[in-house]
Amino acid sequence: MAIVLGIESSCDETSASVCIDGEIVSNIIANQTIHEQYGGVVPELASRVHQQNIIPAVHQAIAQAKINKKDIDAVAFTRGPGLLGSLLVGTSFAKAFALANEIPLIEVNHMQAHILAHFIPNQHEGNPNKKPEFPFLCLTVSGGHTQIVLVKDYFDMEVVGETLDDAAGEAFDKTAKILNLPYPGGPLIDKYAREGNPDKYKFPEPQISDLNFSFSGLKTSILYFIRDHVKENPNFVEENMADICASIQQRIVSILLNKFKKAAKLYNVKDVAIAGGVSANSGLRNALTELAQKQGWNVFIPKFEFCTDNAGMIAIAGYHKYLKQDFVGQDVAPLARMGM
Ligand code: KG4
Ligand code: ZN
């Protein structure tokens, strides 16, 4: 039996999870609400709140797993990419925990972990063991990244397309800010969009070569669109919130899926997946499911709790490294930037 404790602290969620033989038996996520008032994550505040939350989160994860601290075989932590101050808290905790309990330490790449969340069992209704087969293509969309990844094996991944400027999550959050919605705006755009007409307003689709993305032009066009309409009607946004959100969401989703479709053809894959915080978006989930049916793809969409940042994905990635005995020493340091 192998028990791995996972620790995630790369941005503004402090999370701890226990993985027993490949099953996630606890996944405690402490959200930080302090950043709402600033319209974005304030790195210094994030690391201080991680310091407050990390020990209670670990205690809770261990208690919920109904295990003893002494039963844990290894501790896995997010080494990067992320905010350095935030990563330092999780890394330092994991190193101390490994040292005190005389167990190995496992480093995990946050972007790989978002994808490896698909190997957590019981995510697909009707078939608890359904998981993507290598090689598959994953669209990873979060607050910091937008990538099309060719996944050849658990830890053999190649980024074949990525954003040249803003990430998809930033596109949601920054346009939400233009609409005076609080941070993070992605889930709110999703909520309003459910009631709106996605064809009401037309926003441009950028013409970018290869499998890359760009969202900064869309953001600017939305900014001008709102500014011009508000000049004529100061209540334009409030009166048309649902239609505006639905139209923005539809455009972001079409930008993502048009490139994803191109990539799936190019790499000739049958299994496709989405990962990262934006994969919680209902418009993206529905559009991808529909596209997959048309294209004959097997589609993998994670459970909501494994879309946004969580330690479950770190624990499952750590478990697969544990099986390979892939450990790191106490001299390991976090990395704000970390390639695949
Ligand atoms: O993966 P994640 O939790 O953190 C990063 O690693 O960045 O992603 C956070 C991002 C935020 O930009 C947030 O607005 C977005 O995911 N997000 C959503 C939804 N839920 C979270 N965007 C659109 N619709 C959602 N339902
Ligand atoms: Zn993330």
Are 279 and 236 members of one domain? Answer: yes
Which residue, by CA, sits nearest to atom 1 of ligand 1?
277
Domain membership of residue 32 (yes or no) is yes
**142 among the known binding-site residues?**
yes
CATH number of the domain that residue 160 is part of: 3.30.420.40
Residues 204 and 83 in one domain: no
The pLDDT value given to residue 309: 96
Position 152 scores a pLDDT of 98
Contact 8, 314 (CB under 8 A): yes
What strands, in cross-sheet order, belong to the sheet with 13-20?
23-31, 13-20, 3-8, 74-80, 105-109
Q: For ligand 1, atom 8, which residue shows the shortest CA distance?
A: 277
At residue 34, the pLDDT reads 85
User: Would you state the pLDDT for residue 41?
Assistant: 86
Please check whether residue 297 lies inside any domain of the structure: yes
pTM for the structure as a whole: 0.95
Q: Verify that 295 and 168 share a domain, yes or no.
A: yes
Residues 6+ apart with CB under 8 A from 192: 241, 242, 244, 245, 246
Phi, psi of 132 (to 5 degrees): -65, 150
The answer to whether 331 is annotated as binding is no
Query: How many separate domains does the chain show?
Result: 2
Measured from the CB, is residue 147 less than 6 Å from ligand 1?
no
Clarify whether residues 67 and 162 are in a common domain. no
Quick check: CB of 173 below 6 Å from ligand 1? yes
Instruction: Give the distance (Å) from ligand 1 centre to CA of residue 187.
Output: 7
Low-confidence ranges of the chain (pLDDT < 50): none
For residue 231, give its domain range.
Answer: 136-301
Tens of pLDDT, residues 210-230 = 999 999 999 999 999 999 999
pLDDT per position as a tens digit, 15-62: 999 999 999 999 999 988 888 888 888 888 999 999 999 999 999 999
Do the domain assignments include residue 328? no
Pocket test for ligand 1, best of 87, 108, 115, 172 (most atoms within 8 A of CB): 172
Asked whether residue 186 is domain-assigned, the answer is yes
**Closest ligand (CA of 194):** 1
Predicted local confidence at residue 40, as pLDDT: 82
Å from CA of 265 to ligand 1 middle: 27
Give domain status of residue 201, yes or no.
Answer: yes
**Cα 265 to chain center, whole Å?**
24
